[in-house]
Amino acid sequence: MEKLRKTRSRSMQTTSQFGGRLPKQIQRALPIYAVLILLILIISSVGNLKPSTVSHEKRSTQKVLKRSAAAGFPRKIWQTWKVDPLGFAERDLLSARTWTQLNPGHRYEVLTDNNDFYYVETHFGPDGLDRPDIVDMYRSLKVQIIKADLLRYLIMYVEGGVYTDIDVEALKPVDSWIPDRYPVGDVDMVVSVEIDEPEFKDHPILGPKSQSFCQWTFMCKPRLPVMLALVDHILQWLNDVAAKQNVPISEIKLDFDEVISGTGPSAFTEAILKEMGTKTGNPVDWMTFHGMRESKLVGGFLVLTVEAFAAGQGHSDSGNHNARGALVKHHYHASEWPLLHPRFSHPIYGEVEKCNWEPECVRIWDENKAKFDALSPEEKEKQIAVKKALDEHDALHAQMGAQSFDPNALMSAPQKNLNPLPQAVIPQLQPGFYPDGSPVRNLDGSILRNLDGSLPINPNAPPPAQNLEIKDLPASQADSTLPAQPQTQPKPE
């Protein structure tokens, strides 16, 4: 008991001593706590009261940055070209700089002819997606424009971001491409109308390319099914072409329209429309986007108006590059591939594409072609020979710098650089008459005129008639009906 009382006594003394000291310790610490709290308040107040140095424009940009980043669009810009940026020609360098200057928050990468296969093999080989068919096809291809199209689709499937051709200039930042009214999380891909001329959809030449989305610039998230479906379609198409031509993939030959429909805008557009239908559960055709005045979101695909990526074309109501909605400017200086894959060119009337989708011009071209097709083989040969001769006359005319066509100058001029004229068609270098003396006529029956618009000189006519103006000739000799030639004036931007 005594021990218990002593223990309790010591315990009470300890508690009493501790209780006496605790308030004093707290009192001593209070000034320190107060100083710390005051410092915290001062720091937070300074941060809140500090004048803002961020402009409204910058705050808006930061807001858009957060929107696009949260939506899953990789902040990367892709281009493909023959050489790396250190070897760019000045015009390509100027265009490329617009992308980095307007989009400082984006990475920028260029695949070249030297490293493109390594990229494909890395991402689609055994250590990547394990698609040996894609790797083998890319290795075998020799047609550069087909490889360029296929490569952009492979890149965008694997990594996404922005793809743009080397000759495309950025006019506005990428982060302004998606209007604020759209929830960015709902957008998987951003494209723009390129050609919107559905009235020509049944034309034998213009039809397949009369309604298409632009694929020289677009943006998408990685691993979209539409990109892989497009790649698979291209592989099947290439195998079919090789089988039809009975050659290996490395030896296939393609014309302009085959490129457009096989890997170009037509194939790109068809794949997108099909995927839109799959996403929405209803078929989607081109008329959904015909004549658009504002963008549309369909099945995760944001379709911008034609002026966004394809302004200044002179057709499809594309406007000009000064429009508010113009986001890029295509300079076309890298579009030399049609030289290796030519368009259809009529031997007399040339390419219908030169009409630039002008309805009246296309109508005249179609009518002239139909009349030519109705001629006998002999008449066709005559017309082609005359056209060739007149083209050579025109070339000499330009070479000599003459103001008007002069047959005497033609006869005395050096001929070593010109192809010989078809003497069986135009004897004695007099255009417009066959060997029997009959005049060469156009498809509508009118006499084919000289380059300067005058009627050809008939070698059997009386000498005085050679110097008469057309207006002075008798009505029986003056044929005033000119052949209808498709003409179109370039439209200003």
Domain boundaries in the chain? 64-339, 375-472
Q: From CA 109, how far away is CA 85, in angstroms rounded?
A: 9
Q: Is the pLDDT of residue 489 over 80?
A: no
pLDDT at 134: 99
Which residues partner with 196 through β-bridges? 211
Lowest mean pLDDT among 4-18, 136-150, 195-209, 281-295: 4-18
Q: pLDDT above 70 covers what percent of the chain?
A: 67
Give the pLDDT score at 477: 42
Q: What pLDDT sits at residue 398?
A: 79
CA diameter of the chain: 162
Residue 45: what pLDDT? 55
Q: What is the pLDDT of residue 457?
A: 60
Distance CA(372)–CA(442), nearest Å, equals 9
pLDDT at 408 (0 to 100): 54
Is residue 109 over pLDDT 70?
A: yes
Tokens in use for 371? 């009349």
The residue ranking higher by pLDDT, 419 or 443, is 443
Q: Whole-number mean pLDDT of the chain?
A: 81
Rounded CA-CA distance 256/353 in Å is 11
**Class assignment of domain 64-339?**
alpha beta
- pLDDT tens digits, one per residue of 416-432: 443 443 333 333 334 45
219 pLDDT higher than 70: yes
**Weakest-pLDDT range from 5-14, 82-91, 335-344:** 5-14
pLDDT digits (tens, 9 = 90+) for 361-383: 999 999 999 999 999 999 999 99
> Rounded to an integer, what distance in angstroms lies between the CA atom of residue 143 and that of residue 160?
24
What's residue 266's pLDDT?
Answer: 98
Model's pTM, two decimal places? 0.70
User: Do residues 440 and 348 lie in contact, with contact meaning Cβ atoms separated by under 8 Å?
Assistant: no
If pLDDT is split at 50, 70 and 90, which confidence band does 354 have? very high
What would the mean pLDDT of 425-454 be, rounded to a whole number?
52
Q: Is the pLDDT of residue 225 over 50?
A: yes
Q: Is 244 exposed, middle or buried (0-12, 13-18, 19+ CB in 10 A)?
A: exposed
Task: Convert the pLDDT of each residue in 478-487 to its tens digit.
Answer: 343 334 455 5
What is the chain's length?
A: 493
**What per-residue string of b and e applies to 462-476 under the rule 16 or more CB within 10 Å gives b?**
eeeeeeeeeeeeeee
Alpha-carbon distances, residue 141 vs 201, 264, 477 (angstroms): 31, 16, 60
pLDDT score recorded for residue 430:
42
Would you give the end-to-end CA distance of the chain in angstroms? 111
pLDDT for 370 = 96
At 299, give phi and psi (nearest 5°): 60, 35
Residue corresponding to tokens 């308030």: 23
pLDDT (mean) for 346-371: 96
Query: Is the CB of residue 206 less than 8 Å from the CB of residue 200?
Result: yes
pLDDT at 490: 46
Q: Percent of the chain, pLDDT > 90?
A: 63
Query: In Å, how far are 3, 19, 20 from 9, measured between CA atoms?
Result: 10, 15, 16
For residues 206-215, give the mean pLDDT.
98
Q: Region of 279 please: left (phi>0), alpha (psi -120 to 50) or beta.
A: alpha
| Cα separation, 426 vs 53, whole angstroms | 81
Pairwise CA distance, residues 254 & 237, whole Å: 12
Q: 400: pLDDT confidence band, cut at 50, 70 and 90?
A: confident
